[in-house]
Structure 1
Amino acid sequence: MPTDTARFPRSSPYWPVVSHPQLRRVLPGLAVSALGDGLAVVAVTWLAIQLAPHGQRGNWIVALAIAAYTLPSAAGTVVFGRLLRGRSGAQLAGWDAILRASALGAIPLAHLAGVLTVWLYVFLLAASALLHSWGAAGRFTLIAELLPPQHHLPANALLTTIAAFATIVGPPLAGILIGWVSPVWVIAVDAVTFAALALTYRFALPDAGGVHRAERGASRTAGFAVIRHDPTLLGLLVLSLGFFFLFGPVYVAMPIHITGDLHASATLLGVYYTAFGLGGLVGGVIAGHLRNWPLRATTIGIVVGFGVAMLPLGLGAPVNLSLPAFALAGVIWAPYRSTSVALFQRSTSTAQLPTVLAANGAVLVVAVPLGTMLGGPLVGVIGARPTLLLCAVAIAALGLVAGGIAISRRGGRSPGDPIGTEISASR
């Protein structure tokens, strides 16, 4: 009789994803581009510091570069909504890769021409990010187009695990490369990885055709309208917005807590972030095995569990307790994107999914920065450790409130309600 070990890897929930005849041709390109983004985490900020005028190497330069590399995707969701609505997942992801490769590739070219300034650099970073929400929506739409619903969660988890691994490997590798060459050439490598991804989408997947006829002339904000008129999707967006916003102050409070309250060096801060990243990698792998769990209850439970796992840090527990707790928070955090996107994939038609996911991404991309901005004055008023405690309690409370609302709504539905049926079927 065959054992579970003998049936592996075919018994793994990830096997239908990695063995899919089309997805398996795309996954190497996604892994390479994710590594490029991991390199950019360090290279983007380091080059901003080098380009800053002498005597003005303040935090605003780095903040401007980081904002330019992320926030324009929110504007791109609205500006290009009418043009991109109804496109296939491969088209959206491919065009995002082309734009990122072109804009990022222009940075080393401008450097070679001797015309690269801070402002041109920020402009090119902003240009590279314009289709980022659409690209992310395209990747998850592609999953919905190619795989049946029972395989959506493992596929989502595989994409987020690849990204998590890249954020662990990419930054230290970027540090090594910057020690050898200028950060501008590390950004050039990032551009090449996106060019490779664009070619992958172009040649590894069949042409899905143009815009669906029903989508012509649609509003630029159609994705927001779909979410606004669907209580389930609207509730999920509000939950995600609150979750990410409340986590934002942690980025400000953590380093101040380490240096001010614990009187430790930046090394300990790095250890905490590494523990969180490793936990996230483990959590990403675990996420694919949650496919038989009720998705909405699991998503809400993640929020509550994350807040509870953050409590030791806010309560001032010693490092030997708060460090494992922070790693556990990473484990709990990681499946959230996979389960929340799976809920969108189940609740939205394939035709509407790109615009809905792009709208969702546009809102969430500003959530953490807004929370981080709040973190500065909040830490200044109540201190670093109380801020961490407040964030932990608020996140757990947010999840509990969401759970209470979900239970009350479910209790008020009739047995034939489609949403109630979906939840029962996902068990």
Structure 2
Amino acid sequence: MAVEPSREMRSSPYWSVITHTTLRRILPGFAVSSLGDGMAVVAVSWLAIELAPATHRGVWVASAAAAYTLSGAVGALLLGRILRHHRPARLAGWDAALRAGALGTIPVLHAVDALGIEGYVALLALSSVLHSWGQAGVYTLIARVLPEQEHLAGNAVLSGVGSIATVVGPPLATLLIAFAGPATVLAVDATTFLILAVTFLVLVPEDAVPEPEGDTASRTAGFAVIRRIPALSGLLALSFVFFLLFGPLYVALPLHVSDDLGASAGALATFYTAFGVGAVLGSVLTGFLSRLRLWPVTVGVVIGFGTLLLPLGLGAPTTVSVVCFGAAGLLWPPYASLSTALFQRSAPSALLPQALAANSAVRVLSVPLGTALGGPLVAVLGPVGVLRLSAFGIATTGAVAAVALALRAVRRR
């Protein structure tokens, strides 16, 4: 007997997203692959630790982590001429298929004792070459199948699935590593991407996603599109600085916990778990923000995020710092969904995949770049000094953006 949805469920901003014919086919595969990626966060570094020589372990672990993300930025910059005309579902499907193949090769080579650290890093880099285009395909699809007022809710659903995966995936990976090793986790991750590839390439009919008129305009590169639209140029700059300043936390926070607080890895896990739980809640709340003006809310999120990080750099009690870090996690998904929605609304539909791929490339570059800067900064300022710098820097960036937004509103009058 079918259960009729309640009036509250139907009135939710997410109802039209989860009941949409095309999105209902995509979401299960997206959820499975997100869980696999959440598990891979642990496995990628752990397998690098096992494969790398002890004398250069730190360098190789950093190389593995960077390879798994940075090659997506290279792909966004170099493959536009080849990929710019293809349908968004194909872009997402090809990205998932490449990830499945490259990641699936890792456990096979490991099983026959033919996997070295160099080959491992190369396969990780190969797996991510199309990732910026895959992400662009997913969010372009959202923009084309949903009306404009529902873009934010669609983005929030995908963000929420990813946030849940960051909470559930690492513990599952830890259990699987203990019983079968990190290569097995990557085999599972590869399988989840194979499912996602089938989802996009087989289960999404070509006529399910409308194509825009005037597709000849898509010959323009993504960064050129953004340059021509001042609002998108400002948003891209805001995102770059925001994520760049967040990157050093990945270096400073673990050292702060171990050196300054004298605490265990469990304390560090508590910080990250609090952030993940906050991110899940933030994803749920994001869809309700569509009733507000997106630009002021986006800038306010940046200011609030930096402000909530301040206790970590100002010597607040650990409990207060954990709570504030969790509250900052609450704001993380809204920023991603809001900024993507602004791109979806501002860029011409024919140019949206290129614009989103360029946006993704900048994000992919900025966090690792900030993390790389974190090492020298910690050597000079200490962990607490870097935490303070990141917090003040993010809040100040948001404040500058707020002033620019106010000046633009005055000029329009």
TM-score, with normalisation over the residues of structure 1? 0.92
Question: For residue 184 of structure 1, what is the aligned residue in structure 2?
Answer: 183
Residues 211 and 404 of structure 1: CA distance in aligned 2, closer, same or farther (over 3 Å): closer
Question: For residue 219 of structure 2, what is the aligned residue in structure 1?
Answer: 218
Residues 57 and 172 of structure 1: CA distance in aligned 2, closer, same or farther (over 3 Å): farther
Deviations along 1:179-206, one digit per CA (max 9) or x if unpaired, are 1112112111111111111111122211
Amino acid across the alignment from 2:90: Q
State the distance in 1 between where 2:115 and 2:66 align. 19
**Deviation of the 1:212 alpha carbon:** 8.1
Question: For residue 412 of structure 1, what is the aligned residue in structure 2?
Answer: 411
2:288 equivalent to 1:289: yes
2:390 equivalent to 1:387: no
Deviations along 1:18-54, one digit per CA (max 9) or x if unpaired, are 000110111000000000101111111111111123x
State the distance in 2 between where 1:135 and 1:217 align. 17
State the distance in 2 between where 1:113 and 1:382 align. 46
Question: For residue 48 of structure 2, what is the aligned residue in structure 1?
Answer: 48
- Aligned 8 A contact 1:85 1:211 in 2: no
**Deviation of the 1:382 alpha carbon:** 1.6
For 2:100, what is the secondary structure of its paired residue?
Answer: helix
Gaps of 5+ in 1: 415-427
Deviations along 1:343-386, one digit per CA (max 9) or x if unpaired, are 00000122111100000111111111111111111111122112
2:34 equivalent to 1:34: yes
For 2:9, what is the secondary structure of its paired residue?
Answer: coil
Question: For residue 172 of structure 1, what is the aligned residue in structure 2?
Answer: 171
Question: For residue 229 of structure 1, what is the aligned residue in structure 2?
Answer: 228
State the distance in 2 between where 1:236 and 1:217 align. 21
- Aligned 8 A contact 2:217 2:351 in 1: no
- Aligned 8 A contact 1:168 1:278 in 2: yes
- Aligned 8 A contact 1:224 1:359 in 2: yes
State the distance in 2 between where 1:261 and 1:62 align. 24
**Deviation of the 1:77 alpha carbon:** 0.7
TM-score, with normalisation over the residues of structure 2? 0.95
- Aligned 8 A contact 2:218 2:350 in 1: no
Identity %: 53
Q: How many residues align?
A: 407
2:282 equivalent to 1:253: no
**Deviation of the 1:217 alpha carbon:** 8.8
State the distance in 2 between where 1:268 and 1:341 align. 33
Superposition pairs of residues 93-242 of structure 1, within 5 angstroms: 93-208=92-207, 214-215=215-216, 218=219, 222-242=221-241
Question: For residue 365 of structure 1, what is the aligned residue in structure 2?
Answer: 364
State the distance in 2 between where 1:258 and 1:376 align. 15
What is the aligned-residue RMSD (CA, Å)? 1.8
Residues 267 and 217 of structure 1: CA distance in aligned 2, closer, same or farther (over 3 Å): closer
Question: For residue 21 of structure 1, what is the aligned residue in structure 2?
Answer: 21
- Aligned 8 A contact 2:84 2:218 in 1: no
For 2:350, what is the secondary structure of its paired residue?
Answer: coil
State the distance in 2 between where 1:39 and 1:121 align. 17
Deviations along 1:129-162, one digit per CA (max 9) or x if unpaired, are 0000001111100101100011100110010110
2:90 equivalent to 1:91: yes
- Aligned 8 A contact 2:45 2:65 in 1: yes
**Deviation of the 1:111 alpha carbon:** 2.4
State the distance in 2 between where 1:201 and 1:127 align. 20
- Aligned 8 A contact 1:233 1:344 in 2: yes
Amino acid across the alignment from 1:218: R
